Structure 1
Amino acid sequence: MDNLARLLKESWTLVEDDRARLTDHFYARVFLLDPALRHLFPVQMTGQGDRLLEAIIRAIHTVDDPETFAEFLRALGRDHRKYHVDDRHYATMGTALLDALRRIAGDGWNLEYDQAWREAYDAVAALMVAGAADDDGPPFWHAEVLTHKRYGPDTAVLTCQALQHPLRWQAGQYVSLEVPRHHPREWRNYSVANAPNDDNVLEFHVRSPGAGWVSGALVRRVRPGELLRLAAPMGSMTLDRSSERDILCVAGGVGLAPIKALVEDLATFNRTRWVHVFYGARQAADLYGLDGLQELVAAHPWLSVTAACSDDPDFDGELGDIPEVVARYGPWTAHDCYVSGSARMVRSTLRVLAADEVPPPHIRYDTFGDL
């Protein structure tokens, strides 16, 4: 396994700077090999290649951790049921991927790299097929939007109720979501912002400062009564209920969503662990979830919340980027740590925790974009 991981990472350096051509060639080859596959993908393929690469990069970096590798790929196989992917499609995808890698790598490619990718892809496909086969739930859930509230021009909090079948998730997980009325076959991941409940009601926090299709529709166009589609929950930023360590939660912007779910879940059983939540944004107006957090503080003496603004000198609270504020209150060496927010914010917070010598197994994070 060590040699396989080395070959994958080594060969990836030949193509990682030419990702656009890699994905263009991959999808062109897929649709040439099996034109019927085109209808499984959105009309506009913008961003589709990025998600493919995220999955490949994640697999490369977990191949030398067999347990994480297997867990991730089984979950990915379950998730791909929403695309109506079946077993025979994996062979087509594998052929297209190897062809794209050879073409973009050029003369640097060799037989050893080729065999490593064949072996890795066979393992990936087998685990994904097994994950899909083991899942007895539906490929996706229809969910009715119950409430929709805007916070400023680009943020919304909405709730929806999964219909027909129970949807089981853990606090800290995310689901893939489609808005079929506006953007069919476009799926995006969103963290569930509330703890599991018997009513099948899920809350989502969405921000769309630009022209993102799915997020834009969720913020500006979706209304109560509309139907969404939700795929099976994924993610491992979940609570370690066997731990007795106190807890640090760090949230930036709509990264508050999984942190809020974790705190709500803790409220159902926690009696002994102190929980410290740090919540940051640029302006006070962007701290849309602060009132809800303060209500939780009033109800639970083990919970504290520290809010911070990085670009609002009139804010009556901590000033500065949230990782800087977290560092002022440390050290956090003896805590279980949960971090959620933008890639930059997560990177900076992980550096703070590393300086405090927090053991990596005690850190779980969720980031929007590549680290």
Structure 2
Amino acid sequence: MSRPSSPYAPRPEEERQPIPDPAAPPFAPPAAQALLSDREISLIRASVAVVEPLAADMAVYFYAILFTRHPEVRPLFPPGMDAQRGRLLRALLRIVDLVDDPEGLVRFCGHLGRDHRKFGTLAAHFPAVGECLLASLARFAGPAWNAEIAAIWTKAYAAVAQVMMSAAEQDAAVRPATWPATVVHRLSRGHGIAEITVRPHLPYEYTAGQYVSLETPWWPKQWRYYSAANAPREDGTLTFHVRAVPGGTVSEALVHRAVVGDVLRLGPPMGDMVLDAATHRDLLCVAGGTGLAPIRALIEEVARRGGRHQVDLFLGARTGAELYGVDDMLRMAQRHHWLTLRGAVSHEHIPGIRGSLPQVLAEYGPWYQHDCFLSGPASMVASAGETLTLHGTLPDHIHHDPFETPVLSAR
């Protein structure tokens, strides 16, 4: 397919694709009912395969025509759009990945709908987004785009939009869109990591293992995702482990600028990597770097429930000095007989803990009678998951946040 010339300038002759009325009855498919036929799913995925090599350009084009045609939506977005464009692509690919899983699709789009309340998104914005999304797909798909594919995408987008709007409406009836939260404690952990504890001004309900979006006062409208490092506490505080990423505006502000008394904003909790997802009594927890945060929260939750699970925890790093949080977890293991801790160091010779996490997991396995919770860099999570699957662990027993979510590469 030839690359379109001047990809960021809207073509005068472009036809705007019809988008269903957002006031139509909300879409709520039964879990067993497919959203699209097999043929429609095949055509949706084929069209995405065509535009995927040009996805970055398509995202730039999408926002260019969105802001040109509908300038009223521009204030909802941050001045710098690089991260936002990436989120659009991740969300779109995730939706396409789930298009043959109605239950998973509804769950994911419900999360999106609730999360988008923090941006000030209204039902009236969805037709504008849909119109520009379909126009972008049509432009970059070129000859692969036709009336049938346009109709399928219109149908799919209408369903997604209705799920998001319905979830947002139901959420608005029971809780705020955002929660102001005051920094009440800050501790430097070295290696560019800070432990930041906040107290929300309003009750904030979440489940151990979930992640939260944060906005700082220095970078309005720029939200980044971090996992809470604790199970819910009586005083309502949450602790986050934040690593300053070079060029990461939010992470660097949290690590190097935030002090006690600063007020942040929290978005709603998200994620399904929670203890209630487990079906086995025995748990395997694998963490790398600040990925220890949600694992620590899960272990605290096991303790809160009386230690009814046996937990094997593996911490991975390149060197012994980078084994983040190992002292804290050793103290927890001394307090709780059901918790066992092991380390894996890949780039330094340390007797007893030499090797990458996948190698060490294979050595101590098999783990097919465990529920496995993985958190850390996406490459580590992927390799650990492949190792577990290779040695007999069922995919349904391997729990981690989707690779497309920013929590795996928060900035």
Matched, 1:273 2:309: yes
Once the two structures are superposed, residues 5-49 of structure 1 have per-residue CA deviations (whole angstroms, 9 ceiling, x without a partner) of 222211100111111211111101111121121111111112110
1:1-371 matches, within 5 Å, as 1=36, 2-135=38-171, 136-163=174-201, 165-180=202-217, 182-240=218-276, 243-313=279-349, 315=350, 317-366=352-401, 367=403, 368-369=408-409
Once the two structures are superposed, residues 218-261 of structure 1 have per-residue CA deviations (whole angstroms, 9 ceiling, x without a partner) of 11111111111100001001113773430001101111111001
Classify the secondary structure of the residue corresponding to 1:228. strand
Identity of aligned residues (%): 43
Figure out how many residues of one structure are paired with residues of the other and give that number.
Answer: 367
User: Whole-Å Cα distance in 1 between the matches of residues 281 and 324 of structure 2?
Assistant: 29
Amino acid at match of 1:280: G
Q: Contact conserved, 2:245 with 2:251, CA < 8 A, in 1?
A: no
Alpha-carbon deviation of 1:369? 4.6
User: Whole-Å Cα distance in 2 between the matches of residues 338 and 212 of structure 1?
Assistant: 27
Q: Which runs of 5+ in 2 are unaligned?
A: 1-35
Distance 1:27 1:218, change over 3 A: same
Classify the secondary structure of the residue corresponding to 1:200. coil
Alpha-carbon deviation of 1:316? 5.4
User: Whole-Å Cα distance in 1 between the matches of residues 347 and 196 of structure 2?
Assistant: 27
Classify the secondary structure of the residue corresponding to 1:361. helix
Alpha-carbon deviation of 1:320? 1.8
User: Whole-Å Cα distance in 2 between the matches of residues 299 and 151 of structure 1?
Assistant: 22
Q: Contact conserved, 2:183 with 2:196, CA < 8 A, in 1?
A: yes
User: Whole-Å Cα distance in 1 between the matches of residues 300 and 215 of structure 2?
Assistant: 26
Amino acid at match of 1:239: L
Classify the secondary structure of the residue corresponding to 1:319. coil
Alpha-carbon deviation of 1:107? 1.4
User: Whole-Å Cα distance in 2 between the matches of residues 260 and 288 of structure 1?
Assistant: 12
- Larger of the two Rg values belongs to structure: 2
User: Whole-Å Cα distance in 2 between the matches of residues 96 and 152 of structure 1?
Assistant: 45
Classify the secondary structure of the residue corresponding to 1:160. strand
User: Whole-Å Cα distance in 2 between the matches of residues 197 and 3 of structure 1?
Assistant: 49
User: Whole-Å Cα distance in 2 between the matches of residues 317 and 200 of structure 1?
Assistant: 39
TM-score, structure 1 length as denominator? 0.95
Once the two structures are superposed, residues 44-78 of structure 1 have per-residue CA deviations (whole angstroms, 9 ceiling, x without a partner) of 11211001111111111112111111011111101
Distance 1:293 1:233, change over 3 A: same
TM-score, structure 2 length as denominator? 0.86
Alpha-carbon deviation of 1:156? 1.4
The Cα RMSD (Å) is 1.5
Runs of 4+ in 1 over 6 A off after TM superposition: none
User: Whole-Å Cα distance in 2 between the matches of residues 74 and 110 of structure 1?
Assistant: 30
Q: Contact conserved, 2:62 with 2:136, CA < 8 A, in 1?
A: yes
Alpha-carbon deviation of 1:208? 2.3
Amino acid at match of 2:256: R
User: Whole-Å Cα distance in 2 between the matches of residues 205 and 242 of structure 1?
Assistant: 25
Q: Which runs of 5+ in 1 are unaligned?
A: none
